[in-house]
Structure 1
């Protein structure tokens, strides 16, 4: 039994180590930074507040893995939103609210720096375009601008 657990842990560690950085992809913004992981998390939170969005959720496997004796790179998903956007989006598409909060993703790189990435809100809300119409597209565009400003502030 212990050999199976050791093998599983080694496979998990190898797959986590080889997963690599977030590559640019359709609908995403990816910002490599020179900031340390913990600093970038704090700077994202401060920038979100400055741009009128609250931290609604945070999740990541790093600390729970460490408690199990597994070391993985820093990994945090930060959900951002505010009630004003929620009320306006709900008026246009109840289904679209499944996407709230919209998330930013902070990942630690092998050299100790961190990357900030996120799906652009226009990409996130695109599946609801027919239902939410031009109003939803406009709100998603406003969120795109706020997310870009958050990324800009957090990288400074």
Structure 2
């Protein structure tokens, strides 16, 4: 059997080496935690072309519930939901609330499919709810007209009109959810 501890080193030197290794491990752990905290505090979603961004005073969980209720009131179904917050917590990592909610309805799906099969890769259109440092939440989404723009050559004016209708519907969902 091979010993991991060289017998030739004096006890004092072995202790010093052990302390150095432990200090390095603590430093590595601290750097990993600092990196995770920096990633978690990435900040608010800045306004950008083709997006609608609504900062609210509502708490994260309430805004998620209000988005779902507003979507239902506007005739849109919650098709998907995803977010890393709970999975990160299960791994012992705390990050701000972060949820993507996919909304669509079958009427729009059938009409868009008749115009451009490729365009349906963009469905459902997603609303993004993020928790801010102060406990409030932000609602953001790409405008459907922006999302479906690459397909208007194929889908024509009818696809553009449907995307514009979705713009108005998503604006109403955001307005209801903010109240």
State the TM-score, normalizing by the size of structure 1.
Answer: 0.95
Please say if 1:58 is aligned against 2:81. yes
User: What residue is the counterpart of 2:52 in the other structure?
Assistant: 29
Please say if 1:151 is aligned against 2:179. no
Please say if 1:84 is aligned against 2:104. no
User: What residue is the counterpart of 1:15 in the other structure?
Assistant: 39
Any idea what the Cα deviations from partners look like across 1:70-117, whole Å, max 9, x if unmatched?
000000000000111111000000000000000000000000000000
Gaps of 5+ in 1: none
d(CA) in 2 for partners of 1:64, 1:90 = 34
d(CA) in 2 for partners of 1:15, 1:65 = 12
Aligned length: 155
User: What residue is the counterpart of 1:75 in the other structure?
Assistant: 98
Report which structure shows greater RCO (CA 8 Å, sep ≥6). 1
Please say if 1:119 is aligned against 2:142. yes
Please report the RMSD computed on the Cα atoms of aligned residues, expressed in angstroms: 1.4
d(CA) in 2 for partners of 1:61, 1:129 = 33
Report 1:119-138 matches (<5 A).
119-138=142-161
Per the TM alignment, residue 15 of structure 1 is displaced from its structure 2 partner at its CA by 1.9
State the TM-score, normalizing by the size of structure 2.
Answer: 0.83
d(CA) in 2 for partners of 1:68, 1:6 = 17
Q: 1:94 aligns with which of 78, 92, 117?
A: 117
Per the TM alignment, residue 10 of structure 1 is displaced from its structure 2 partner at its CA by 3.0
Q: Please give the secondary structure, in 2, of the residue aligned with 1:49.
A: helix
